[in-house]
Each structure stands twice: as C-alpha cells, then as structure tokens.
Amino acid sequence: MQRWISLLTMAGTVAGAAVIFTGIALFFAAGSVPSLLISLSVIIVGPVEDLLSRWVERRTEPGTARVEGILLVDRTTSLVFLLLLLTAMLLPSSP
C-alpha cells in the first residue's frame, strides 16, 4: 500500500507542477489571466498549504490547538483555491 501512496504522491506533484508551469507560460505567452489564476490556486493548495501546516505543527503542542490550527489552514487554503477558480471562470473569454 505504501508504494501506491508514494506513486500517487509523486504523480500528484508532477501534475501540479505541470499545471503551474503551463498556466504561467500561457500567461506570459498569451496574457491568459485565467491560466495564471489556476496556477496560483494550485500553488495555494499545494506548497503554501504544506508550509503553513508545518508552521502550525512546529508552533503548537500536540492536541486540540494543533488539530484546529491545521484544520484552519486546510479550510482557508481550500476557500482561496475555490475563489481563484471561480474568478478564473467568471473572467470574460477572449474573442
């Protein structure tokens, strides 16, 4: 089972990196703001969420405060992720 978890983790990391780099490239090549917003949303729920969760873990004692802090990070990053995706969808399409 651990092998599958590792494989899926690596595949998710590669797919996330592909989305981020593609979105940034499309923004610089064609001015695609929705692509940039999608890239930012993946950055928020990926490395930013991981960093914030580790920060909470290091600065809180094991127990309720740590669990609640990590849950707060999770819920906040999920909300920002969804708002960025919604914004990307609501932007006017190029003619």
Domain-located, residue 13: yes
Burial annotation 46-58 (CB, 10 A radius, 16+ → b, else e): bebbeebbeebee
Domain-located, residue 25: yes
Q: How many domains are contained in the chain? A: 1
Domain that holds residue 63: 2-90
Please report which confidence band the pLDDT of residue 95 belongs to, taking 50, 70 and 90 as the band edges. low
Domain-located, residue 95: no
What the block records as the tokens of 44 is: 């928020």
Question: What is the tens place of the pLDDT at every residue in 13-37?
Answer: 999 999 999 999 999 999 999 999 9
Given a contact cutoff of 8 angstroms between Cβ atoms, the answer to whether 39 and 88 are in contact is: no
Please report which confidence band the pLDDT of residue 92 belongs to, taking 50, 70 and 90 as the band edges. confident
Domain-located, residue 21: yes
pTM comes to 0.89
